Amino acid sequence: MSIKSRSVWEWSLLVIASFVLSFLMYGLALVVTDSITTLWVSCLAVIVFSTAMTALYALFVKWFEHAPARDIPLRRLAPDTLKGLGIGFAFFIVVVLIMLAAGLYRIDSVGTDNPAGIFAAFLGFLVVAVGEEIIFRGVLFRWIDEKWGFIAALITSSLIFGLMHIFQPGATLWSSFAIAVEAGLLLGAAYKYSGTLWLPIGIHWAWNFTQGNIFGFAVSGSDAGEALIQATVAGPEILTGGIFGAEASIISLVIGLALSLWFILKIRRREPKA
């Protein structure tokens, strides 16, 4: 039975069930990977859990929807993920360049004595990206999109995605709103545009890593660990993001909104004319 043909109450129960199952798996993945201190074991755990979450998502779709999961095609895994990594990386390069020009961000030193720590962080953010994109785009966005349409899916999933970040350290209503607009809209639009989870996974992955472990910001209020660049950030919190990180900056919000609108325009142009 398709998602669209299910009754509202049945659809609601399935969404709740999928969220619970997804968060349990995601939470387990975070606990296990965060507790491992040996680098090669950590790398193996990240790969295993990321693959397991994706496989369970495919089984979940097959079981409840009686159809294959069409948004995780293996042939698009590499190109879409790489494209997403490029977008996420470029996003925060632009943010930091603007902060540099405005005198909000000053580079103190470049380099690290712990390259293994940076590599471990890069891998660790893969689990975050896979887990959250399955939950918020693969399940929530897609199911709302199929039942009530693209705009409803984009707005609802973005608001819930932003709201979930209110529980992060240093979070405020503004930071949650910023996450909803710049990240929720962008990741939802990227998912709809590409038709795969790989593109938003790549964006999300690079977004966190670049912000935290290259430029040294907090990531959603949490210390990201070792960073390639040590910098001093000073200025109004509305511009710098404050203790929550650069994603709470209005600079990030404007860039994220502009990129989201670009994806939405591409989606609209691709739709058949009435």
| Predicted TM-score of the model (pTM) | 0.92
Looking at the chain, how many residues does it have? 274
Residue 44 included in any domain = yes
H or E segment and range at residue 34: helix 8-35
Residue 40 included in any domain = yes
Enclosing domain of residue 67:
8-270
Residues 124-170 have pLDDT tens digits of 899 899 989 998 999 899 989 988 899 999 999 999 999 999 999 99
Residue 1 included in any domain = no
Residue 57 included in any domain = yes
Residue of 49, 89, 57, 64 whose CA lies nearest to 5: 64
Residues 203-251 have pLDDT tens digits of 999 999 999 999 999 999 999 889 999 999 999 999 999 999 999 999 9
Number of domains composing the chain: 1
Cα–Cα distances (Å) from 7 to 2, 13, 39, 47, 239, in that order, read 11, 10, 48, 37, 45
* Higher-pLDDT residue of 3, 43: 43
Residue 208 included in any domain = yes
Catalogue the E-assigned strands of the chain.
105-110, 229-233
Mean of the pLDDT values across residues 50-60?
A: 90
Q: CA 75, CA 17: separation in Å to the nearest integer?
A: 30
Residue 2 included in any domain = no
